[in-house]
Amino acid sequence: MTGAAGPWLQQAARQLNGGDFTGAWNSYMAALQAEPGNDQAWLGLGLAALLRRDWAAIVGLADRRQARTGDGFAWFHDVTSSAMGYGLGVLVEVLGNHLDPSSTYAVSQLYHAACARLQADDEDGAFVLLNRLKPLLAQHRDSLPNGPGDRFNIAWRQATLVEDGDYPDTLSPSLLNSRAADLPEPRLVGTWGDGDTAEYVLLAACDGKYLDRFGADYLDSAARMGPGGLVHLHVVEADDDAVADFCQLAARAGMAVAVSVEGANPWRSGAYYACSRFLVAAWVKAQHGGKPLMATDIDIRFIRPLAELVELARPFAFASFLYEAGLGPASRLPAVWTWFAGPDGDAMLDSLRKVLLSKLDVPWPHNWMLDQAGLMCARRWLRRARPAAAIGEVNRLGDRRYFTDFLECRGDEDDKAALIRQAGQSPS
C-alpha cells in the first residue's frame, strides 16, 4: 500500500485480522485523516464498526458520505456486501434491528439479511424479508443507484424479479393471455432419428448467434454422452442458413434430434433468450409424448454420461442443482440444468411460464436472471400447491458436489456477455 494512508491501512488490516476491532477502527480513522477520500479506509471503517457492533456509527458514516459525496447508500451497500463476503451475515441481520425500517439503508440490509437466511437454508425466513423489501424498493425506486453500471444493480434485479410462491395464482388471466398472444408460435422444422424410444427430452434454446457459436459443439457432446435421449433445440430469431446447416448436422448425429424455431417478438432481449426454453417447454413436451424433460444451457459440454443425471433425477417431478454459495434468490437455482417430469413437473412448468410471461415487460438489463428468479418462485409454488410433489437438489444426493461434475461451460465469458448485450438492444 502506498500513499499517506498506506501504513495506517496495513496496521488496520493486522488489527482487524487479530480481532482488535477498536484498534482497527482507530487506524482506519487515521488513514482517513491522512487521505480523506481513500475508499479502502472508508470500507474498512464500516467493517470495523460492524464488528464492534457500533450500529449508530455505520449509519453516521453513511450519512457523512451522503453529505460529502452523495454516495451514502452505495457506501452502505458496499459495507454490507463485503460483510457477506467475509461470512458476517449474522451481524448484517442484527444491524436491521438498529435501522429505521423505512430508511434507504434498510434496503441493502434487508436484501443481505435475506441472502444470509438463504445461505442458512432458511428459505421461508428469506422470503419473509424479501416480502418486506419489495415495497421499500418501490418507495425508494427513484433514489437508488440501480443502473447497469451500479454495484447495487444485481441486488435490485434479484429482489425485484423474484416472487413468492403465491404469486403465479394472483396473476391476471387476461394479462397472461395477452402476453402469450404477443409471442410467435413455435414451429417444428424437422425430426431425425427414432425419438419414440427415447427415455427423455434434452432441451436447449438460444438465438441464432448462439446457435452458430455453440450449436454444433452441444450436439456433438449430447450425441457422445446422451444415448437414450432425444435432443430438441429451439432457436429464436433463427437465421435460415444457420438452421439449415444445423439440420444437416442433426441428420448425421446418430441420435434422435428435433429442431424448432420462432420469429422475433416484442420482448427481444438476452433475458428472453435465456427464458425461452421454459416458455416453450410444455409445447416441446407435447411434441414428444410428454416424456420427462431435461433443460440446459446450450453453451455447455457434457463430461459424464447423461444417464447418470437421469438416474439421479428420475424420482423427482422437479430437480435442479442448488448453488449453495450463490448470493441472492435468483442465484440459488442455476438454470444451467433442470428436470421436469410427470403431472407435477408439468404443473411447475405452467407456473414457471406464468411468472416469466408476467415480467416480460421488465426492460433490459433489469430483467437479466429472470429465468432463475422464475425457477425459485415456481419451486415455492410447487411446494405450496402440491406439497406431495417430489423435489430434488442433485448436488445434495449422494456424493455429488455440483453441476460441474457433469458438464462444463464453454466460450469466453466476455465474448458471451457481448452477445447478450447485443441481444438486449432493439432491432435496427
Q: For the domain bounded by 167-423, which CATH number is listed?
A: 3.90.550
Res 423: pLDDT = 62
Structure confidence at residue 426 as a pLDDT band (50, 70, 90): very low
Tell me how far apart the alpha carbons of residues 339 and 319 are, in angstroms, rounded to a whole number.
5
The strands making up 229-236's β-sheet, listed across from edge to edge, are 187-192, 256-262, 229-236, 200-207, 293-296, 337-340, 318-320, 391-393
- Percent pLDDT > 90 in the chain is 83
Percent of the chain with pLDDT over 70: 96
Cis before 101 (ω within 30): no
pLDDT single digits (tens) 32-43: 999 999 999 999
Q: Where does the chain hold its CATH 1.25.40 domain(s)?
A: 6-161
Give the per-residue pLDDT at 415: 64
Instruction: Look over the chain and give the mean of its residue pLDDT values, rounded to a whole number.
Output: 93
CA distance 399 to 225: 21
Confidence check: pLDDT of 427 > 50: no
199 half-sphere exposure, CB direction, 13 A CA radius = 13
Separation CA 330–CA 60 (nearest Å): 32
CA 61 vs. chain centroid, Å, equals: 32
Predicted confidence (pLDDT) at residue 12 exceeds the cutoff of 80: yes
- Tell me: the pLDDT tens digits for 313-338? 999 999 999 998 888 999 999 999 99
Report yes or no: 247 and 259 within 8 Å, Cβ to Cβ: yes
* Band (216; pLDDT cuts 50, 70, 90): very high
Sign of the dihedral defined by the CA atoms of residues 254, 257, 263, 266, in that order: negative
State yes or no: pLDDT of 163 exceeds 90: yes
pLDDT of residue 345: 98
Tell me the pLDDT tens digit for each residue of 255-301. 999 999 999 888 877 788 889 999 999 999 999 999 999 999 999 99
Distances (CA, A) of 341 to 186, 298, 304: 22, 21, 21
- CA 215/CA 295 separation, integer angstroms: 15
C-alpha cell belonging to residue 391:
423435489
Q: Which is higher by pLDDT, 304 or 424?
A: 304
Q: How confident is the model at residue 1 (pLDDT cuts 50, 70, 90)?
A: low
Place of cell 440490509: 109
Q: Is residue 268 helix, strand or coil?
A: coil
Q: Give DSSP secondary structure letters for 239-261.
A: -HHHHHHHHHHHHTSSSEEEEEE
Please give the CATH architecture assigned to the domain spanning 6-161. Answer: Alpha Horseshoe (1.25)
Going by C-alpha positions, the residue among 401, 382, 378 that lies closest to residue 324 is 401
Binned at pLDDT 50, 70 and 90, residue 424 comes out as: low
DSSP 156-169: HHHHHH---TTHHH
Is the pLDDT at 252 greater than 70? The verdict is yes
pLDDT of residue 307: 95
Say if CB 1 and CB 10 are below 8 A apart: yes
Question: Is the pLDDT reported for residue 164 higher than 70?
Answer: yes
Tell whether the model's pLDDT for residue 121 goes beyond 90. yes
Instruction: Give the pLDDT confidence of 52-111 residue by residue, as tens digits.
Output: 999 999 999 999 999 999 999 999 999 999 999 999 999 999 999 999 999 999 999 999
For CATH 3.90.550, list the domain ranges present in the chain.
167-423
As a whole number of angstroms, the distance between CA 75 and CA 45 comes to 11
* Secondary structure tally for the chain: helices H, strands E: 19, 10
- For residue 168, pLDDT beyond 70: yes
Reference 164, options 396, 362, 380, 329; nearest CA is 380
